[in-house]
Amino acid sequence: GVPPKYPNGSSPDADDPEAAMEAAQQLPSGELRTEFNSSLITAMSQYSPPEAAAYVTSLPNGDVQNSAVDAVVVEWARNDPGATAAWVSTFSAGEMRNSALSEVAQQWAMVDPTKAGQWLAGLPADAARDMAFSAYTQQVAGQRPELAAGSVNSIGDVVMRQIAIEAVARSWLKT
């Protein structure tokens, strides 16, 4: 979309993210601030994912922060899935963590499924890991069903495990 304008009419400067973040906080709460933050975070995620991650962490909990985390995870995981995984692993339990872990698992599985699987195996066995392993397994099944098959037993949730098994079986039958 069109980059948002600062309240004074100028556009955000990609070389001055601090000024852009400051301007975002000066906007009144509402749709304009949300759209501005979304554009800002997308741009920051492309040029400086760690800085975008730090900014997102400073946002208040809620839908805006959740969607901002998603934007950062998608961009950062494409280029540095290990650093992205380390960041999202620090999140408190909850929907944001579940979603972020699954997105990292899926993105990382596309570039290095073996390392992604090793990272997932090191996570605490909980619902978030089950969701991430399920996303990973379904992503990997299309290219390497034998690798995906080996990960289904790591999914503790019976329903998620069954869905993953079916995805692996379908992929294996196609090869």
* Rounded Cα distance, 153 and 67, in Å: 31
Per the listing, tokens 């979603």 go with 99
Contact 87, 116 (CB under 8 A): no
Q: How confident is the model at residue 1 (pLDDT cuts 50, 70, 90)?
A: very low
pLDDT of residue 111: 93
Mean pLDDT, rounded, for 84-97: 93
| This prediction's pTM | 0.79
Q: What are phi and psi of 151, to 5 degrees?
A: -100, -15
Contact 43, 57 (CB under 8 A): no
Q: Closest by alpha carbon to 41, among 59, 63, 62?
A: 59
**One-letter identity of residue 14:** A
Highest mean pLDDT among 22-26, 63-67, 88-92: 88-92
Q: How confident is the model at residue 19 (pLDDT cuts 50, 70, 90)?
A: confident
* Rounded Cα distance, 20 and 18, in Å: 5
Tell me: the pLDDT tens digits for 32-65?
Answer: 777 887 788 888 888 889 999 998 888 888 877 8
pLDDT of residue 151: 92
**In the chain, helix, strand, coil percent, each to 5?**
75, 0, 25
